[in-house]
A and B are shown apart, each in its own frame.
Chain A
């Protein structure tokens, strides 16, 4: 038990009470409600305990850990090339995006860089992972709010992207395709043309969803002004990705950080929305899916030829040192803090996942909202359980 002085505890409680948008005087008989661990709104097994006063949430507490697999510990007893298999399973909807920052960290420590063609293909597949991930969100958000159709369209159109990922890597969900210094193999013949067709289908999907949902009055009523997160609070909690861009913060690691990947060679835009509510989070993600299709189109046009693998030793030993590598994943900032002591495997890998921080704001944002809005807010924050629990 933490030793906390009484005044600190009192100050904390007072702060919580001041924040609470709950009318204490009208308090009726309370009720504790368990959402999950099995709940459609949680995309897996997250349990959320909410204390209700009538229809209003007094406090909410997410309980994670139902899917904790201990990847940080397991990574310490594996060699570098073996770790991509583990980290594939963190955010399982955009798996390829999990491999990239880890491989970049290892490359940074070894002082090597993959050839341009490999970087281009990495970026293309990274953006495809983003599409596969966010397309599902775009449909799923509808189903949480009672619109059944979008989710069927999402599952249908996600296949276009997953088929491409499978054709290139051999795996629909767990590609395990990125290698230190390059890639497992080159793209199959005809892939580039197929990809162009699929990108058009992704854009069509976005337009369709725009028509179906965004203008819908019920959808607007249920999302506008619900779960507003001010930018300063969001940043303090470490919110990243579309969640913080929907609060008007212009923060995108793809653009802000100097990365060997190919985003710097494309012309694209970081989308933000000033409102910070559930609608804004949905809107930003929809725009990002379109933007990802545009990025892929440009990269396909400029795809350089040449080798896909830099020269690396047969047995990979990573020199001693510490490296922090992060990328803008579909869910937000994902990064690996890799500590190497010069061996075949890392000494310590800290995996910074976006959903962990994105969900830590749930107690703050749920305080005082009504029960149906809990679902809206959870859906719009968009997290993946493997990404919280690692």
Chain B
């Protein structure tokens, strides 16, 4: 079993090497760990990376494309709810992740230098190997080349990332709303988009037993014993 995993990692090494050769300085970070491979490319090399994957590496299967927002927002990320005092724990969370930037963004596997990232996964059904590609996007004006010309399946995924994160995909045949109504304003998956249900009422799911009707007034007075225990 272990030898099979090793040969898999060798193959992944060669995938990453091929990308490096073809994109030159377009590749800015890579990581191979836990039976998977990540490559971070420059936003300008995004489309070319897809072409290399498709034509040179035989990645025939388009898996998904998604956005990522690394903004630390305690109000939203649940720490507010789980840690009523604002969270001494959350200060150390960022420190555990590699590649913390000056802005305080901790940006995950294969690093990152910006608030927004786009990530996509491709797979080769012949070599049975997958790869995750990432690219940093400008925080103020996130825009990147579309993949629709390389993988047709990217169409809907880019529409979703456009509406949920506000990323512009240059060359996309028509960025229309995927899920939300046409007049919707804002980009709901951004970390600074408020989740109103949580603003109105704290998430009751933290405690095992929810208070019975009429019980909350009494519970609020004795400083939420369950939360203190957790």
Residues of A within 8 A of B168 (CB): 2-3
Whether the Cβ atoms of A236 and B62 lie closer than 8 Å is: yes
Is A320 an interface position by the 8 A CB rule? yes
Beyond A2-B175, A251-B125, is A352–B64 a contact (Cβ under 8 Å)? yes
Contact with A along B83-123 (1 / 0, CB 8 A): 00000011011101100000000101100000000010100
Residues of A within 8 A of B76 (CB): 76-77
Contact with A along B143-186 (1 / 0, CB 8 A): 00000000111011100001010001111111101111100000
CA distance A238 to B150 in the complex (A): 12
Contact with A along B194-230 (1 / 0, CB 8 A): 0100100001011000000000000000000000001
Whether the Cβ atoms of B68 and A73 lie closer than 8 Å is: no
Whether the Cβ atoms of A343 and B93 lie closer than 8 Å is: yes
Whether the Cβ atoms of B151 and A348 lie closer than 8 Å is: no
CA distance A138 to B78 in the complex (A): 42
The number of residues on chain A lying at the interface, defined by a beta carbon within 8 Å of a beta carbon of chain B, is 59
Residues of B within 8 A of A256 (CB): 128
| Contact residues, A332-363 vs B (CB, 8 A) | 333, 335, 337, 339, 341-345, 347-348, 350, 352, 356-357, 360-361
Whether the Cβ atoms of A333 and B63 lie closer than 8 Å is: yes
CA distance A389 to B174 in the complex (A): 20
- Cross-interface CB contact of A324 among B36, B94, B173, cutoff 8 Å: B36
CA distance A73 to B73 in the complex (A): 13
Whether the Cβ atoms of B62 and A68 lie closer than 8 Å is: no
Residue of B nearest to A359 (CB): B156
Residues of A within 8 A of B82 (CB): 79, 343-345
CA distance A342 to B77 in the complex (A): 12
Is B13 an interface position by the 8 A CB rule? no
Contact with B along A317-339 (1 / 0, CB 8 A): 00111111000000001010101
Is A152 an interface position by the 8 A CB rule? no
Whether the Cβ atoms of A364 and B63 lie closer than 8 Å is: no
Residues of A within 8 A of B4 (CB): 258
Beyond A236-B60, A258-B4, is A356–B156 a contact (Cβ under 8 Å)? yes
Is B79 an interface position by the 8 A CB rule? yes
Is B132 an interface position by the 8 A CB rule? yes
Whether the Cβ atoms of A315 and B230 lie closer than 8 Å is: yes
Residues of A within 8 A of B78 (CB): 76-79, 343-345
Is A82 an interface position by the 8 A CB rule? yes
CA distance A204 to B8 in the complex (A): 41
Residues of A within 8 A of B (CB): 1-5, 8-9, 12, 64-65, 68, 70, 72-73, 76-79, 82, 108, 232-233, 235-238, 240, 249-251, 256-258, 315, 319-324, 333, 335, 337, 339, 341-345, 347-348, 350, 352, 356-357, 360-361, 364, 389
Beyond A78-B203, A345-B82, list 12 extra A-B contacts (CB 8 Å).
A9-B173, A70-B188, A108-B34, A258-B5, A323-B34, A324-B36, A335-B63, A343-B78, A352-B64, A352-B121, A356-B157, A357-B156
